[in-house]
Structures are given as C-alpha cells and as structure tokens.
C-alpha cells in the first residue's frame, strides 16, 4: 500500500496533525491507532481542565478528544484501529498489524510520529523490597478505574507528584479509597499547581517533599511501604524511615516518550527529552518524518500538544507538496543556565509559518528571574517570571520577522533579576 501521509498514533497529537495536513491540501492520509478507539490516553482522563487554551473552556479528556475525532470524521480522514506498527524504516516503510487486515506494508511519502509516552515503572526506579500485587503505575490504575470500572486498592500511597498521580489521588478518594499520602523525592512537585490544590489540598491528602519509598513490603499483596526523607543527593537519610500501612502503591514518577520506532528508523534522539530533535516544522533528523506531542517531549497541557501537532501536520503537508525549503541556512536552539531543554532544536527561518512557539522546562524552582533569549549579537527577548518550576512548561512565542534576523544560534537561559 502507498500513502501520502501516515500518522502513527491516534491520540490528540495524531488527530490534530491529521486535521491540519488535510486542511493544507493532503487528501491521502492514514492514521494508525493501536487502541480500540481514537483519542489516546485522553479517553481515560475523565476529569476536566482540558482545552482552556485551544477552546477557551474546560472540557473532560474524552470531550476534548471527541471534538478532534468528530473533525477527523467530518473531513473523511482514513484511520485503522487496533493497529500496531511493528517496524518503521528510514525510507518511510511501515509494517503494521491488526486483527482485520493482518500484516500491512505501507510506503509513505511522509510520516508523522505521534506515539505519545509511557510511564516510568518500579523497575526503572529500582525500589527495593518484595514484588507483590498492588503496585500500579498511575496510568494503568486509571485505566482500571475509569475504563474498566474496577478499583485497584483500598489504602493507597502514591509515589511521585506527577499529574496523573495527583489526579488519581482525587479519583481513588472519590471512589472510597483512603489515599494516605503522596511522597515526592524532589523539594517541589512535578505536577501542575492547580492539580495540587484541587486533588490533594481539597481532600486533605498530605504531600511529603524530599521523601521517597525505600522498601515495598508484602508477600502476595502490598502490605505497606517504608518511606524515608532524602538528602540533597536524593539518598535516604538513615533514621528517618517510617512504615506506612497500605495495600496499594501507585507510581507517578515520570513519563518517557515512546521512541522505539524512531530509533529503528535511525532518527536522532535528544538524551534530555528522550524525544527526537525537531525543526521549526517538527521535522526530525530523517527527512519527511515529523514528530509531535509527547513522543517529542512530555507536555503538561494537551492544548500545547494540539498546537504543536497542527504545526507538524502543516509541515508534513508542505513537505509532501514539495514546498518545504531545504535546510540550508539553519540555526540551532541551545538551552543554557537554568533551562533543561528547548523544543524545537533547529530552525530554518524561511519555513516558519508566522511564528514559532518555543517550549522549554527549567531545571529547578526559581523565583524572580528573567527568561532570556539571545543570539550572538545580544538579547532578543526577555520576560520576567515570578516563579518557574520544572513541573510547569514555559512557552515563548517569537515571530518570523524576529527569527529571520537571528545570528547563528538562539540561546535560552535564566538570569537573576537585579534588585
């Protein structure tokens, strides 16, 4: 089978990318989704708070997804469900599998990677102790509770203050479970402030910073965990251990972009984000393969995923139509003091639509700082921030006009505000 554009993943990223590509004149589009329905992880996010930026209203996850699914249907974009991509090559050949068609071979003119991310597990953290039932990643617990209608435990400790963990603290409480505490190894939360207020504080669930789980107890089912305070090197401090009785441990300790296919296609991966390096049009290091959403870097807000994915859809359309200018005069973006990473990573100014949204995360909590963008010649843009945190992604919008004048490189950094 030959296709102009194949989109791997039918979550919010893939859907938005498909819509924008279609609107930009690409008709032969195929979305490959591994789940039974479109919408991705949003379908299990039944809480609200989605869509404030894109729709200026609060939607639940399934509602947010449905708006895009409806548009995909209205535009007549083709998709295949329960379809898992097994292989991807750099010459844009895809092998996929589903129960209806069996093995499918597709040659695409362009591909958009929108596979999203997966949760870090107990194994990745290497938490010592026994290996009983009752240890869940927050997302798989969420699937059981919200999609299947089953409870995963009665007395719960949550490790990590990532957003899914916070959301699940509230969800489990509403379902009658006792959420004893959320334990966070960092001195700050990795989740959104609003989730801490609405999911923990409103339910009197304690959040312990600088603490971690040092041991899991229980032979067959979790019977408790040992928690301890950690020092500045994140090592448990002896003598601070405390046993907490529980039957369930939920893990919300980070998300990892799912880039196994990208690696197979020899796409360059940024070790900081674990996602592909991308251009101003979200194109990866392999020509004609684009990427967007959580497979590039983990977002806090689906709204930003949507915006980024529109861009990827536009970029792929340009590429297919032969209108994407070759990367000749490009410059790189560089994350410096206080900034962990910036996306996109390289910019070809001629390809910019009207503006570029630069997404970045800081590496620690800072108060009263300037977020500064500069090139070889000097400061291009500067904004004062009262409070920045690794848990909240920062976004800076720069116009095409400004970016066309950039000399060699674009540096993003934090500067202290002088009193």
Partner 1 sequence: MFDVIIVGAGIVGVSIARELSRYDLKCLVIEKSSDIANGSTKANSGILHAGYDAKEGTLKAKFNVLGSQMYEEICKELDVPYKRNGSLVLAFDDEDTKQIETLYERGLKNGVKELSIIDKNTLLSLEPNLQENVVGALYAKTAAIVSPFELAIALAENANENGVEFMLNTKVDKIYKEKDHFVIETNKGAFKSNYIVNAAGLFSDEINDMLGGEKFRIIPRRGEYCLFDKSSGNLVTRTIFQPPSKKGKGILVAPTVHGNLFVGPNAREIDIRDDVSTSREGIEEIIRGANRSVKNLNLRDIITSFAGVRATPSTGDFVINIPTKNAVNAAGIESPGLTAAPAIAPYVVSLLENQGLKLYKKANFINKRKNTKLFINMTEDEKRNALSVNSLYGRIICRCEHITEGDIVNAIKRPLGARTVDGVKKRVRAGMGRCQGGFCMPRVVEILSRELNVPMTEILKSEEGSYILTGRTK
Binding site for partner 1 (CB under 8 A): 34, 82, 84, 86, 97-103, 118-119, 121-124, 126, 128-134, 137, 139-140, 143-145, 147-154, 175-176, 214-216, 219-221, 236, 247, 263
Q: In the complex, what is the shortest distance from the CB of residue 103 to partner 1, in angstroms, rounded to a whole number?
A: 6
| Residue with smaller CB distance to partner 1, 126 or 386 | 126
Q: List the one residue out of 117, 121, 161, 170 whose CA is nearest residue 142.
A: 170
Q: In the complex, what is the shortest distance from the CB of residue 52 to partner 1, in angstroms, rounded to a whole number?
A: 28
CA distance 106 to 111: 11
Tokens standing for 89? 């090559």
CA distance 362 to 355: 22
| Residue with smaller CB distance to partner 1, 171 or 361 | 171
Q: Which helix (H) or strand (E) holds 63?
A: helix 61-74
Burial of 181 (0-12, 13-18, 19+ CB in 10 A): buried
| Residue with smaller CB distance to partner 1, 216 or 281 | 216
| Residue with smaller CB distance to partner 1, 24 or 121 | 121
Q: Quick one: how far is CA 108 from the chain centroid?
A: 25
Q: In the complex, what is the shortest distance from the CB of residue 154 to partner 1, in angstroms, rounded to a whole number?
A: 6
CA distance 136 to 221: 12
Q: In the complex, what is the shortest distance from the CB of residue 15 to partner 1, in angstroms, rounded to a whole number?
A: 20
Q: In the complex, what is the shortest distance from the CB of residue 109 to partner 1, in angstroms, rounded to a whole number?
A: 25
| Cα separation values, 269 from 23, 295, 340, 384, Å | 29, 11, 15, 31
| Residue with smaller CB distance to partner 1, 147 or 197 | 147
DSSP category for residue 337? T
| Residue with smaller CB distance to partner 1, 215 or 321 | 215
CA distance 310 to 79: 18
Q: In the complex, what is the shortest distance from the CB of residue 374 to partner 1, in angstroms, rounded to a whole number?
A: 32
| Residue with smaller CB distance to partner 1, 128 or 206 | 128
Which residues are 29's β-sheet partners?
5
For 222, the 3-state DSSP assignment is coil
| Residue with smaller CB distance to partner 1, 151 or 379 | 151
| Residue with smaller CB distance to partner 1, 253 or 347 | 253
Tokens standing for 329? 């005069």
Q: In the complex, what is the shortest distance from the CB of residue 144 to partner 1, in angstroms, rounded to a whole number?
A: 6
Q: List the one residue out of 350, 301, 285, 395 whose CA is nearest residue 293.
A: 301
DSSP category for residue 259? -
Q: In the complex, what is the shortest distance from the CB of residue 85 to partner 1, in angstroms, rounded to a whole number?
A: 9
Q: In this structure, how many other beta carbons lie within 10 angstroms of the beta carbon of residue 326?
A: 10
Give the angle subtended at the CA of 387 by the CAs of 384 and 391, to the nearest 5°.
125
Q: In the complex, what is the shortest distance from the CB of residue 34 to partner 1, in angstroms, rounded to a whole number?
A: 7
DSSP category for residue 325? P
């Amino acid at each position: 089978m030959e296709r102009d554009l194949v989109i791997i993943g039918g979550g919010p990223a893939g859907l938005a990318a498909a819509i924008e590509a279609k609107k930009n004149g690409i008709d032969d589009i195929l979305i490959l989704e591994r789940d039974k329905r479109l919408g991705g992880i949003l379908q299990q996010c039944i809480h609200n708070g989605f869509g404030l930026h894109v729709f200026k209203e609060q939607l639940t996850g399934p509602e947010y997804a449905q708006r895009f699914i409806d548009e995909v249907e209205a535009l007549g974009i083709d998709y295949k469900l329960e379809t898992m991509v097994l292989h991807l090559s750099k010459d844009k050949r895809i092998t996929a599998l589903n129960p209806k068609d069996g093995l499918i071979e597709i040659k695409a003119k362009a591909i958009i990677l929108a596979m999203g991310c997966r949760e870090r597990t107990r194994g990745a953290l290497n938490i010592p102790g026994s290996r009983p039932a009752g240890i869940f990643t927050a997302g798989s617990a969420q699937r059981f509770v919200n999609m299947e209608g089953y409870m995963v435990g009665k007395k719960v400790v949550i490790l990590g203050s990532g957003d899914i963990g916070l959301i699940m603290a509230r969800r489990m409480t509403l379902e009658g479970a006792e959420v004893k505490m959320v334990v966070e190894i960092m001195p700050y939360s990795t989740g959104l402030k609003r989730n801490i207020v609405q999911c923990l504080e409103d339910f009197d669930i304690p959040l312990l910073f600088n603490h971690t789980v040092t041991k899991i107890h229980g032979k067959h089912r979790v019977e408790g965990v040992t928690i301890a305070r950690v020092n500045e090197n994140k090592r448990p401090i002896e003598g601070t251990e405390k046993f907490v009785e529980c039957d369930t441990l939920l893990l919300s300790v980070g998300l990892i972009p799912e880039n196994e296919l990208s690696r197979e296609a020899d796409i360059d991966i940024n070790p900081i984000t674990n996602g592909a390096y991308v251009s101003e049009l979200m194109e990866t290091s392999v020509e004609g393969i684009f990427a967007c959403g959580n497979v590039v870097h983990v977002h806090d807000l689906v709204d930003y995923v949507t915006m980024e994915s529109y861009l990827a859809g536009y970029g792929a359309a340009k590429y297919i139509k032969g209108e994407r200018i070759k990367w000749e005069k490009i410059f790189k973006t560089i994350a410096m003091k206080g900034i962990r990473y910036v996306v996109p990573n390289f910019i070809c100014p001629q390809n910019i639509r009207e503006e570029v949204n630069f997404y970045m995360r800081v590496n620690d909590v800072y108060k009263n700082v300037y977020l500064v963008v500069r090139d070889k010649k000097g400061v291009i843009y500067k904004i004062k921030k009262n409070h920045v945190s690794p848990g909240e992604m920062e976004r800076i919008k720069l116009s095409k006009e400004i970016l066309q004048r950039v000399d060699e490189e674009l540096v993003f950094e934090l500067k202290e505000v002088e009193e």
